[in-house]
Homo-oligomer: A and B are copies of this chain.
Amino acid sequence: MSNLDLVFGALADGTRRAMLARLGEGETTVNALVALTRHKQPTVSKHLKVLERAGLVMRTPKAQYRMVQLNPVPLQEAELWIKRYASLYTDSFDRLDHLLQDERQNSPIEEQL
């Protein structure tokens, strides 16, 4: 499975997006994230695992807490995908550019994404 699958999959949930938004303001603890949502702690831990699997989040132990930290890189990749593949329609110069690049690789297309 592509990493973009995991990243977009992780983003496809409001609770997880809320957690990311919060993490964008700085690292925090798991409990702080629990407080943000209407869910129980184990549920939040599961969501964290999804985010972690997508590479969006890192957990580092600090005393009895696990500090949760945002990793922006996969988000940038996701943003890049949207720009690269789905904004072709706007800029026809860009479009030609991408078409040329795609020429080099071939089917099955899904493996390139």
Footprint of B on A, CB under 8 Å?
Answer: 1-2, 4-9, 11-15, 17-18, 20-22, 24-25, 36-38, 70, 72, 75, 78-79, 81-83, 85-90, 95, 99, 107-113
- This chain: copies in complex: 2
B residues within 8 A CB of A90?
A: 72
A72→B112 CA distance, assembly (Å)? 21
- Residue in A11, A18, A37 whose Cβ sees the most chain B Cβ within 10 Å: A11
B75 touches A87 (CB 8 A): yes
B18 touches A87 (CB 8 A): no
B residues within 8 A CB of A99?
A: 25
Instruction: For A9, give the chain B residue with the smallest CB separation.
Output: B12
